[in-house]
Copies of this chain bind each other. A is one copy, B any other.
Amino acid sequence: MSRWQPDASGRLVKAALELYAERGYEQTTVAEIAARAGLTERTFFRHHADKREVLFGGSREMAEAFAAAVAEAPGSAAPIDAVAVGLDAIAEGFTGRLEFVRRRQAVIAASAELRERELVKLASLADALTVALRGRGVAEPAASLTAEAGIAAFKVGFARWVADPDDGELAHWTRDSLRALRAATGEG
């Protein structure tokens, strides 16, 4: 048998989410998280950059999937429609994970530091989206602005999905949010 229990990183994530939920983010020390995962504090920092980042694993993959979907959208699609394709792709990655997401969002909402880090992840998403749009030939500042609009739709749609008592589909909410955004900013 192996020298250590498997999935140290995942155990740390699980322990952190539990402890943040039980006693709050600020009242939890990294040493406590590591102890619950059967590891030491030093090992926590080998797997996760800091005490906040432990809740945001996979966000890079999400940005990559977003960018890939936007890049592969039909060449004839308008920038905002390519963004819509990307939103659908992201939403797909959340199917069946609503309960986990709800617990995670409750923890994030309760901590200013975690909310701050969440904004960084959304900004990274916006950056990846901007790059993908520029790859489609969209010039600045349209690329950045369309990306920001798409992230706004994602942000609001995500919040509505998490808050909705019914267990619906994230894509439903992001699509509706994008539609509402276009209506609210519409030139007509």
* Residues in A lying within 8 Å of B, measured CB to CB: 79-80, 115-117, 119-120, 123, 141-142, 144-146, 148-149, 152-153, 155-156, 160, 177, 180-188
* 21 A-B residue pairings within 8 Å (CB atoms): A80-B184, A115-B123, A116-B117, A119-B119, A119-B120, A141-B177, A142-B183, A145-B152, A145-B177, A145-B181, A146-B185, A148-B148, A148-B155, A148-B181, A152-B152, A182-B185, A182-B186, A185-B186, A186-B186, A186-B188, A187-B187
Residues of B within 8 A of A182 (CB): 185-187
Q: Are B152 and A184 in contact (CB under 8 A)?
A: no
Q: Are A183 and B187 in contact (CB under 8 A)?
A: yes
- Other-chain contact of A188, B141, B177, B187 (Cβ < 8 Å): B187
Residues of B within 8 A of A116 (CB): 116-117, 119-120
Closest to A150 in B: B185
Q: Are A156 and B148 in contact (CB under 8 A)?
A: yes
Residues of B within 8 A of A185 (CB): 80, 146, 149, 181-182, 185-186
Q: Are A141 and B156 in contact (CB under 8 A)?
A: yes
Q: How many Å from the CB of A29 to the closest CB on chain B?
A: 19
Q: Are B120 and A144 in contact (CB under 8 A)?
A: no
If A119-B116, A119-B119, A120-B119 touch, whether A146 touches B184 (CB-CB below 8 Å) is yes
